[in-house]
Each structure stands twice: as structure tokens, then as C-alpha cells.
Structure 1
Amino acid sequence: MGVKKRTMVVIVACGILAGCSSSDTSSEEDVVKLDFLTYADPAQLKVYQRAVDAFHELHGDEIQVELTGLPADNYTQTLTTRLQGSEGPDIYYVQDFSMSTFVQGGTALPLDDFLEGPDSYVRKDEFPDDIWGPTQKDGVTYALVPDANPFVMYYNKSVFEEVGVKSPQEYYDEGNWSWDTLKEITSTFKEAGKEGYVQDGGPFGVNTWIYSNGGSVEKDGEVVIDSDPKTIEAIEYVNQMVQDGNFVFSGSLPQGQGRDAMFMSDQVALVGAGRWLTPLFLESNKDFDYIPWPTNTGEQMEPTLVTSAYLAVNSDTDYPEEAMKFISYYVSEEGQEIRLADNGNSVPSIAGLEHVVTDNPEPEHAEYLLDAIRIGQPIVFEFETPGLSNEMRDIYEIMFIGDITAEEAISRLGDKAREMTEE
């Protein structure tokens, strides 16, 4: 079935009340209405709406875009259900781990021809070659990269001051911002009744530890998660921190209590994320800053995870040209600058826009985001095979809740990765 589309009809009617003669006729103008679905909190939605409003200033008399936000939890399941029915949005954000599923399922339109045409606001060569991740298959592009999020740690200055712990910036300036330091200070927070750090499961939560230790999940097409010593060391470290109570596993938190709420209520000292938490924390007047990921290599800074959400057009939309025109504007240099300036929720995916992060920066050390994205690594291997990242997430999570050891988890991770990628 085709997507149900609504059309805004503007009618200029003349009649007795308008003082028109019976010889006057009505005129009618159709404006295309596009539904745009994303996952975001209210602060993030305000950021996205900036580009929607700017697009309306250019094309509002012919195209109107209605933005709707859903919670991140169960977003992909909800989106999938809508796409399979008759209520799918024309334009939708795709979570990185599910992109390959939408490509394989044929629910995302190929974009290459449009991007090479005269109506596109952006060209593929404006983006770094290594940013596309699972949006491309067999040389075809199925989604655009609106921005990117390199992982850093956020630290709550109020909690550090309350417990009497030296700030991460001080440790960093001394050259001592390491895994050992993190273990030491999170032990102090635990003794003071605070959580030290919120740890996620899955590649999303673990890969930054792997990358920051110089490890890899896969090298040259070969699964090495269960053989690379640096990778094994990273998984064992983070699991031990969870088991010892230095970190709290996010999957064990009470319903409705996430990292953002804990951070804003001064229950946790550190959380890891990209820039997307920044608008919310600033609106909440939290006293916080960024710090690079602690390392275990002797280097002051190592690569961390760079994650992106992707922007796709429903293959069943009644208005493919209009939808592609909008997303090309949304991810263009102009669109990114409008969205990401003034403490937006991501880092630009197009070179030359670094100033939107560092102009009047809040928090103070916004440049750490740019340092992180320069050397960061996206997840590609785990997301290229539909379902693999979910299987790996399940293994990590049963490790974190203590049902299997780190050794058992690492063995299962390697076996599952080989099984699913060699089929």
C-alpha cells in the first residue's frame, strides 16, 4: 500500500461575505506535506526544527515538513511497524545499528541519482569517504549522514566537588587521565554513595573501550574480538568495573531512570556520549564539561567511537523528489550550520564547519569533540550484517548482569560474529 499523504489545500474563496461578485472564481494551491520521524528528546527536537524552519523559508509555499519525535527506546521497532503498514513517514532517521536491515528490506530509496542532479543541496564528495558506514551497499547510497557524534565523557562538576575528587581536567593536564585513575576515582564515588559511570551494553557501549586501548573487533575481514590481546583486555576491564560496582550497567537501572536523569539529579559523576546530551544539560543549567576518554596505552588520547544516525526516504512515499530535496538541504553545509551552531546536538559531518562547535563554546572544552572526531572510528563491521549488533549486545548484557564470565562472553562474541558473517 502507498503511504497515506495529506495535502494542505489553500482556498481563496469569494462570496457575499468577502464582498466578491458572482463572476469571481476560486483558486486552489496544493502544498506537499511530508512527515519526518526521528527519535529525540524535546531539546534535540528544537535543534532539528531549526533546519525545518529554514527549509520552509525557502520552499514553504510548495513543501511543508512536519517533524515528530519519539523516544529512542523501541524507536526502530515502531518505525519498522509503520513502514510495513500504511502509516510510514516520508522521511525518517535511522539508528546506525538498524541501517543494514532497512537497506536489505528495501524500505529506503537509493539517493545517488538525485544527489548528482540540479535540485540537490549537497554532493557526496562534500563528506569524508569513511563516514558512510552501513548506508551504502554495492556502491549505492541509501541514506545521508546529517552529522556525527564522537564519544567523550561528560563529567558533573557538582558531584566531583561534593565528594572532593579532583576534576578529570586536572588529571588530564597532569597526563594521568587513565583507566587506573578512573578505577580509583569511581571507587571513591561508590564509597560516597554515588554512581561513578553508567555503562551501556552492546557495541555501542563497549567499542569505545576497545578502540581506546588500541583494539579491534575485526581486522582485514577477520574476526579478532576473541584473539586480539588489547580487545580482550578492554572487555575484561569494563566488565570488572561493572562487577565491582565502579560502573553501573544501564540495563540494571530502574524503569525510567537513564543516564541523563541521573546526571541532572547529581546521582552519577560521569557519562559517556556524543554531543546529543549537551542541549538538555545546558537547558537544565548543569555545571559540566567534556573530557577525552581515559586511556590505557600511555597516550593522552586514543580513538573513540564515532556514531551517526542516518536520514532516509521511505521507498513507498508519494513524494520522493520533494523528500530527497528536503534531506539534501537538511544535511547540506547550510542545514548543518543552522542546526549545529549555538550548542547543537552533534558535530558537523562536512569539513569546514568546525567553528559551529568552538564559537562561544559551552561547555568550556568543546574542542575535545573535534579532537575526538579527527581520530575516531565508526562502527561498520557489526552493523553491516543485519542482527549481528543485537546478538552481540545480548552477550554483553548477560555478561554485565553476571550470568557469564568475561572469558565466556568473549568466546561467544567471536563465535557469533564468525557464524553470522560467514553465512
Structure 2
Amino acid sequence: MSNLPFTQPIGRRGLLKAGLFAGAGVAAAPLLSACGSTGGPGTAGGPLTWSAWANPGEGERFREFAKQLTKKLGVQVNFQPVVGDYESKLLSQLSAGSAPDVFYVGDGSMSKMIATRQLRDLTDYLDSGKAPVKLSDFHKGLIPWCRPADGSPGLFGLPVDCNPTVFWFNKDVLADAGVTTDPAAHFEAGTWTQDALTDLLDKVRATKKKGLVIGSGWFDWFGFITTFGGTVFDDTGKAVFDTDPKAQDALTWLFEQLKSGNITYGGSLPKGQSVDALFYAGRLATMQYGRWVLPNVKKLKFGYDIAPYPSLSGKDIMPVPVATAALVVNAKAKNRQKALELLGDYVSAEGQTFRLSGGGNAVPSIEGLDRVVTEGHLPAHGKLFNDIAAKGYALPTTLAGNPKLSADFAQLANKLFMARNQTAKSFSGKLVKLLNGAS
């Protein structure tokens, strides 16, 4: 993946448009295993088109993958790249009846496409026993946003791969700050606690370098609530982090660190600065990003590694946000059966291994593929990518089901972070009022 010029603070929509959720590493691999046919209507012949966001390097690899799928499926498979605003162009294609047979959907668009019947329900295909992947193969926290927002039955997409937030750290910056036990070593010793992180940040701040930067989107700070045992949304989808005791404790800690300077709000960084650029330059000790930065990090001259977020116990991997996108089938696909087979092969174990091996920048969305994230032993604790993904969660359904609310939420959070006069209670109270629709 190419070196992408992020702006700060990097948001969920920015990630989507940059194409960071899709794995790009396609290495030499055997053809995908056969996928049985379920028969039924929509099995007429004809070429298939599929579409995804991609930078030039990814586009070339996707075209090679399309050649492999053409051989496997016995029909012509054409990759249709989208230049520019993927979401807007896809919506225009759907409106005009010219959308691809199979395509990527980001978490901010899924609910609307389901509600307007643009997508094919995948339930029967997965239940047929002939698909090369089962729903139970996927990390369960990545699935809810692919279902109808109103709770009705159906499954309309499968995660192509994912990117869990992990705790990247610069070993050299930490050593210069006098940190003798890095986050990975703390985790292995069962001592990677909130206090251990605070001590690390205190020491880094004393060197005049930054320890940690957060943004305003849910992806940027929900993890600091859930990793310390707090609850953001209850089982009904109601936001409760304004009253949940552990959530309040976690936010109190977060605002204490912001006040002390141990944590920096990304929206306050000088124009042109970004989290990843600061990390690459050796001016930031840690960053909470996914595997998408690995191709760039590998080029760095300093030591680096990853760890989970800290936890109250110091030894547990707790739920944190995971970025993902889904592959879906157009409800109007003429060759429905082959479109389903394409989807099944794409997200299967062999399909994900094919796409993500050899320098890939994402993490499998299914279990049992440790070899993908441990190749080359970079970073040293790369296996943790899979372990963290297995415990994590995608965009919560409350936000996934209401894109406007999701955007308003991030804007209000930004305003509150910039105000610099918030407490955990006032900050969470205003945001929960918005999320729960209180007047």
C-alpha cells in the first residue's frame, strides 16, 4: 500500500475513502477451492463485475485476482475500479441501475442500502452448506452492522477483512524516556495496566515528545472506555457511558491525561501534522492504528512493535474498535449464483489468504489465519492482530443505522474536545443526549 497523506484528525470517512479497510497484499497463491452451486433463479450466464476502492497498486492486484476468479468460476470476472469518491459514484450507479454485481460497502452506507432493498440477502446461501465459508467463521463483533438496523432478519454483507486498533509503539522513544518495560513486555508479564500506561506517558512527556494522540471519531476513543471495562451501548442500543461506572472512570482518566499533556487531542495539532507522520518522525511514542500502516512502518529505522490496549487486569485483551468493510451482492445482479460464488470465494480462508499475504495491510476477518499476520515476524507480536480482532467490535449499530447521527456525533465530540473545559460527566452527558435522541 502506498504512503497515504493523512490529514488530522483522521476520521472514519477519511479511512473509507482512502481504502484502508481492504487488504491489498496479493501474492502468488493456488487457485481458490471449488464452491458448490445452490441452483435456483438468477443462474444465467454472463460476465460478472465487482468493484472496490483501491489505490493504483491495489487496483493492479485486484485485476490479477479477477483473472484468477475468472478461471475458478468459469465466467468472465471484471474488476471495476472507482476513482475519486467511491461512495457517491456507487450510489449514482445504483440509482441508474448500472452498479456492479458485487461490490464493497462501508459501514456508513450499509443500513440505507439494506432499507432500500439494493442488496441480496445472503442467509440462504450461507445456510446451503455449499458456501466455502460459514457465518461462524467470522469474528462475531464484525457482523452486526451487516444486518438490518431495525432488527429484522437478514444478513446483507460479509466482512472482507478488518483492521483492529492496536497499540503501536516506538521502542527508541520509550527507551530515551527511561521506559524500561515496553507495552508488549508489560502485556506478557500481565502488568499492562492503566497505571503502567500513565507512567509511560508521564516519562515521554518529560522528554518534550508526545505520548499519545486521540481523535474525535468513535474509532479513536471508544476503545479507552471498553478496554477498561466500561460499556458504551447496552444490549438495546441505548448509550449508557454517561452513567456506567467503569465508563466514567475511564473517561475521567482520559480527561486527566488530556489536561496534563500526556495525551494530545488531534484536532489541536498544527495544520499539516498527522498522527502517523509524527510517529514515523520519531516525535510520537505510540499510535492507536490498524495494520494498514505496516507497509510504511517497515521502512522506519527505529525499533517498533505492537501490544493490545492496556486493561484493568494488565493481562487481558479487551474489546476495542475494529475497522472493516463488507462485500455485498447487488440485488439486481443478473448472474446471481455466480455473484454469490464470487463473494464466497473472496471472503473464504483461501480468498483472504490470497489477498492479504505477501505484504498485505489488513487482518483476516475470520479465525485460523495467524500465518497471514505473522509472516516476516513484523512486527514481532504480529499474532496479536488476530487476537485483538477476535475480541473487537465494528461500528456500533446505533451509529451504523443512522449515518447523519454518526457524523453529528463526531462533530459534537470534536467541539467538546476542543473546548478544553469538559469533565467526564459533562462530555458524556452531551454526547449521550445526542445519541439517545433526547430533546
Task: Place the TM-score, normalised by the shorter chain, in its bin.
Answer: 0.7 to 0.9
Could you tell me whether the CA contact under 8 Å between 2:192 and 2:314 is conserved in 1? no
Provide TM-score, normalisation by structure 2: 0.75
Superposition deviation, residue 345 in structure 1: 2.6
Could you tell me whether the CA contact under 8 Å between 1:337 and 1:353 is conserved in 2? yes
Superposition deviation, residue 331 in structure 1: 0.3
Paired position in structure 2 for 1:398: 415
Paired position in structure 1 for 2:202: 187
Matched residue of 1:277: which SS?
helix
Match 2:226 to one of 200, 207, 211: 211
Matched residue of 1:344: which SS?
coil
Matched residue of 1:369: which SS?
helix
Task: Give the partner amino acid of 1:155.
Answer: F
Larger radius of gyration between Structure 1 and Structure 2: 1
Paired position in structure 2 for 1:416: 434
Paired position in structure 2 for 1:149: 163
Matched residue of 1:401: which SS?
helix
Paired position in structure 2 for 1:299: 314
Q: Once the two structures are superposed, what CA deviation does each residue of 1:140-181 show, in whole Å capped at 9, x if it has no partner?
A: 111111223332201122333444433323444554422233
Q: 1:257 to 1:214 in 2, by over 3 A?
A: same
Superposition deviation, residue 35 in structure 1: 4.6
Paired position in structure 2 for 1:250: 266
Determine what percentage of the aligned residue pairs are the same residue.
26
Distance in 1 (CA, whole Å) between partners of 2:204 and 2:60 is: 34
Could you tell me whether the CA contact under 8 Å between 1:127 and 1:350 is conserved in 2? yes
Of Structure 1 and Structure 2, the greater strand share is in: 1
Match 1:231 to one of 244, 247, 250: 247
Superposition deviation, residue 293 in structure 1: 0.7
Q: Once the two structures are superposed, what CA deviation does each residue of 1:109-157 show, in whole Å capped at 9, x if it has no partner?
A: 3333444569854343543555411101222111111223332201122
After superposition, residues 273-288 of structure 1 pair within 5 angstroms as 273-283=289-299, 287-288=303-304
Superposition deviation, residue 360 in structure 1: 4.1
Task: Give the partner amino acid of 2:374.
Answer: T
Matched residue of 1:141: which SS?
coil
Q: How many residues align?
A: 387
- Mean CA deviation greater in 396-405 or 309-318: 309-318
Q: Once the two structures are superposed, what CA deviation does each residue of 1:222-262 show, in whole Å capped at 9, x if it has no partner?
A: 43221101111222322332343322323334555432222
- Mean CA deviation greater in 112-121 or 267-276: 112-121
Task: Give the partner amino acid of 1:332.
Answer: S
Is the counterpart of residue 198 in structure 1 residue 193 in structure 2? Answer: no
Q: Once the two structures are superposed, what CA deviation does each residue of 1:242-286 show, in whole Å capped at 9, x if it has no partner?
A: 343322323334555432222222221111123222233225566
Distance in 1 (CA, whole Å) between partners of 2:396 and 2:313 is: 27
Provide TM-score, normalisation by structure 1: 0.77
Cα RMSD (Å):
3.4
Could you tell me whether the CA contact under 8 Å between 1:36 and 1:65 is conserved in 2? yes
Q: 1:46 to 1:411 in 2, by over 3 A?
A: farther
Superposition deviation, residue 336 in structure 1: 1.0
Paired position in structure 2 for 1:122: 133
Match 1:94 to one of 88, 97, 105: 105
Is the counterpart of residue 108 in structure 1 residue 126 in structure 2? Answer: no
Task: Give the partner amino acid of 1:101.
Answer: K
Matched residue of 2:285: which SS?
strand
Match 1:158 to one of 152, 172, 180: 172
Distance in 1 (CA, whole Å) between partners of 2:187 and 2:252 is: 24
Superposition deviation, residue 47 in structure 1: 7.2
Q: 1:163 to 1:80 in 2, by over 3 A?
A: farther
Could you tell me whether the CA contact under 8 Å between 1:144 and 1:312 is conserved in 2? yes
Task: Give the partner amino acid of 1:401.
Answer: M
Could you tell me whether the CA contact under 8 Å between 2:73 and 2:338 is conserved in 1? no
Paired position in structure 2 for 1:262: 278
- Is there any run of 5+ residues in structure 2 with no aligned partner, and where? 1-44
Distance in 1 (CA, whole Å) between partners of 2:62 and 2:303 is: 24
- Mean CA deviation greater in 252-261 or 331-340: 252-261
Q: 1:126 to 1:402 in 2, by over 3 A?
A: same
Q: 1:417 to 1:154 in 2, by over 3 A?
A: same
- Is there any run of 5+ residues in structure 1 with no aligned partner, and where? 1-29
Superposition deviation, residue 323 in structure 1: 4.0
Distance in 2 (CA, whole Å) between partners of 1:82 and 1:196 is: 45
Paired position in structure 2 for 1:15: none
Q: 1:246 to 1:128 in 2, by over 3 A?
A: closer
Matched residue of 2:212: which SS?
strand
Q: 1:243 to 1:125 in 2, by over 3 A?
A: same
Choose between structure 1 and 2 for higher RCO, CA contacts under 8 A separated by at least 6 residues: 2
Task: Give the partner amino acid of 1:159.
Answer: V
Distance in 2 (CA, whole Å) between partners of 1:236 and 1:65 is: 48
Task: Give the partner amino acid of 1:144.
Answer: L
Superposition deviation, residue 316 in structure 1: 5.5
